[in-house]
Amino acid sequence: MKSADELLDFMWADLTADGSVTMGFVFTGRSEVEFVLDQELGELRRPQLITTKVVGQPKLTFHASGHYKLTAIMGTSQDALDRATVLGPKLSEIDEPRRMAEILLPNTLPRAKKLVTDNDISLDMSTAPSGPLRCVISCMSRRRFEEVIGSGSKFVNTSIWEFTHALESDNQVWSWVLRRSENDVLYPNRFFIYLAGDIRWGQQQS
C-alpha cells in the first residue's frame, strides 16, 4: 500500500492450483471472533459465543467449494469448536460482484520491507481524504468487473473515495477496493475483518 511518502504492508494474496484463493497479513497478531450474525440465532457475542485466540499471521481462505474460512476458532460450546467458517457459492459460480470480506484498517500500518513489483497489488491511499479507511474484497466475473470499471460508478454507494486494484483468476476477478466511507468517524485500534456468508457451526465431538 502506498501513502504520500512511504510504502506500507497490508496483505498478500495467492491463487492455488484447485482454484481456491488464500490471503493474509504479514504481521503476527491474535485472531479472535468478536461477534457472529446467524440467520436463526441472531447476533451472538460472548458468553453465548465461545472463541479461542489464535496467535500467528491472520489468514483468510476462500475454498473453490464455497467454504470461506478465517484463522480464528469459534463455536457455541466447548466441545464444538472449529475454525471460523461461512458458506457461500462455489467460486466458479460467482458472476455478479459479491463482497467476500471487508476490513477496517487501524490508523497505522507497518512499513513495507520490500519494494513493489509487477506481481504485487498496489493500493494507493495518498489521495484519500483524512479519516479511517476500509477495504472491500469482492469476487466477480471479468465481464462484470470491466462493466463496473467502464461505467465509472462506485463499487460501494457509501464511499466518498475509492481506489481499486484487482487480481485475475481465469475468467474471474478479485478486486480490492480501498475506500473512505461516509459512515466512518473513528479509527479502530486494530484490524476488524467481516467475512460474508452463512455460518457453518462446528459439530460436537463424540
pLDDT digits (tens, 9 = 90+) for 106-157: 998 888 887 777 777 789 999 999 999 999 999 999 999 999 999 988 999 9
Query: Which grid coordinates belong to 42?
Result: 441472531
Amino acid at 6: E
Q: Is residue 55 part of a domain?
A: yes
206 band by pLDDT with thresholds 50, 70 and 90: low
Tell me 43's DSSP state.
Answer: E
205 band by pLDDT with thresholds 50, 70 and 90: low
pLDDT digits (tens, 9 = 90+) for 155-193: 999 999 999 999 887 789 999 999 999 999 999 999 999
Q: Which ranges constitute the DSSP H helices of the chain?
A: 142-151
Sorted by sequence, the CB contacts under 8 Å of residue 197 that are 6+ apart come out as 68, 86, 87, 88
> Is the confidence at residue 1, as pLDDT, over 90?
no
Return mean pLDDT, the chain: 91
Q: Is residue 191 part of a domain?
A: yes
Q: Is residue 148 part of a domain?
A: yes
Q: Is residue 1 part of a domain?
A: no
Rounded distance between C-alpha atoms, residue 67 and residue 87, angstroms: 5
How confident is the model at residue 53, as a pLDDT?
87
Q: Is residue 109 part of a domain?
A: yes
> Is the confidence at residue 194, as pLDDT, over 60?
yes
What range defines the domain where residue 75 resides?
Answer: 12-199
